[in-house]
Amino acid sequence: MTGATAVERAELLETARELARRELVPRAAALDAGEQDVLATCWRQLAEIGLDRALLAEEHGGSGLSVSDLLAAIEELAAGEGGIALCVLLANAALATLPSEHAAAIPGGARWALVPVRSGAEATVSDGRLEGSVASALGAYGTEGVVFAVQGDRPASIAVAAGTPGLELARDEAQMGLRAAPAASIGLTGIDAHADLTQSDGASAPADAGGVLALLRAGTAAIARGIARRAYGMALEYAKARRQGGVAIIEHDAVSEMLAAMAVRLSCPLPAAAGAAAALAAKVAASDAAVASTTDAVQVFGGTGYMRETGIEKLMRDAKYCQLFPEPNWVAQDELMRLACD
């Protein structure tokens, strides 16, 4: 992965921004309602600009972007719709986990997702078989395949194509946030963890659980930031237009202070690289900031903000999920301290 030149990067970001504005924002409510055909339409458009396989080298049919380019693009997409941005992150994380030739064998435009799994608590690999259950795997429902990143003593990454016997995926109807990346409850019985991906029923790959988790965390930070940007933009616009007390509400300190705090939170840069510790810290900071900003954004809208049609309460729900994925922030902070002590 050599990454794009500055010009290419700027172009890529502009394309992602445009796509978010023109295609994702108008479809955000439909995506939130879980409409699968709308997700498929958006996914096709993302695949056309190569964001479904952004990190894969060009010789393997990918876009050959660097991680930081991908993260920047994900932030732009999330400023349109957070769940779609998560689909892009999960697909790229899934492919990045696989050996390049296996990743290359996945047909272009196919949506895969990476599912981090705690070894023992959720799933176990023994005798070459993957067994267990995962309660709510974001983005896994409706995919053409899932890569399980098993964390623990013996990390492993196991790719399983949809339809493989022993793989059961049920939609998590209760999912509150990032609903464009539909979550699934997954049952795993006797999944062959050795099979070859090119036969499209499964493959094992050299595990790089630390790297892939760092990517998920940095990506979640980028999504959180995109969501917070959108919330700020919407709240600012509304605060200039809505009048109470004879003036635009932005004239009231109570409102302008909330907006200023949103701007301040956005002014803290995300780390450019996805090192393990930096990614953890970024994901905690960005998701906490996104929750604070989106909650205040709803507040700026008053009662209108509480209604679904405004689209602002959705940002609050989406941001909350960034605090919980790939692990709750308090667990991420634990991990951060573990790294600091190592």
Ligand X SMILES: Cc1cc2nc3c(=O)[nH]c(=O)nc-3n(C[C@H](O)[C@H](O)[C@H](O)COP(=O)(O)OP(=O)(O)OC[C@H]3O[C@@H](n4cnc5c(N)ncnc54)[C@H](O)[C@@H]3O)c2cc1C
320 binds, among ligand X, other proteins, none (CB under 5 to 8 A by kind): other proteins
Token pair for 113: 């997702």
Find the residue with minimal CB distance to ligand X.
302
Shortest distance (Å) from residue 224 CB to ligand X:
23
Shortest distance (Å) from residue 135 CB to other proteins:
4
293 to 102, 255, 268: CA distances (angstroms): 41, 12, 13
Helix (H) / strand (E) element for 284: namely: helix 276-301
330 binds, among ligand X, other proteins, none (CB under 5 to 8 A by kind): other proteins
Shortest distance (Å) from residue 315 CB to ligand X:
16
Q: How far apart are the first and last CA of the chain?
A: 29
Shortest distance (Å) from residue 187 CB to other proteins:
14
Shortest distance (Å) from residue 297 CB to ligand X:
10
Reduced to 3 states (helix: H, G, I; strand: E, B; else coil), residue 136 is strand
317 binds, among ligand X, other proteins, none (CB under 5 to 8 A by kind): other proteins
What angle in degrees, to the nearest 10, is found between the helix axes of 276-301 and 209-241? 20
341 binds, among ligand X, other proteins, none (CB under 5 to 8 A by kind): none
Which residues lie near other proteins (CB under 8 A)? 121-122, 134-136, 138, 173-174, 176, 183, 243-246, 252, 254-255, 291, 295, 298-299, 302-303, 305-309, 313, 316-317, 320-321, 323-325, 327-331, 334
313 binds, among ligand X, other proteins, none (CB under 5 to 8 A by kind): other proteins
263 binds, among ligand X, other proteins, none (CB under 5 to 8 A by kind): none
Which residues lie near ligand X (CB under 6 A)? 242, 244-245, 249, 252, 254-255, 299-300, 302-304, 306
- Comparing CB distances to other proteins, the nearer of 246 and 269 is 246
CA distance 337 to 342: 9
- Comparing CB distances to other proteins, the nearer of 193 and 291 is 291
What angle in degrees, to the nearest 10, is found between the helix axes of 82-97 and 67-78? 160
CA distance 246 to 83: 38
- Comparing CB distances to other proteins, the nearer of 20 and 255 is 255
CA distance 271 to 263: 18
Residue 114: CA count within 13 A, CB half-sphere: 34
Length of the chain: 342
Shortest distance (Å) from residue 232 CB to ligand X:
15
CA distance 49 to 26: 19
- Comparing CB distances to other proteins, the nearer of 45 and 256 is 256
103 to 59, 77, 145, 212, 221: CA distances (angstroms): 12, 23, 11, 15, 25
CA distance 277 to 136: 25
Looking at residue 119, what DSSP letter applies? B
- Comparing CB distances to ligand X, the nearer of 181 and 300 is 300
331 binds, among other proteins, ligand X, none (CB under 5 to 8 A by kind): other proteins
- Comparing CB distances to other proteins, the nearer of 41 and 136 is 136
DSSP bridge partners of 114: 147
Shortest distance (Å) from residue 21 CB to other proteins:
24
DSSP bridge partners of 116: 149
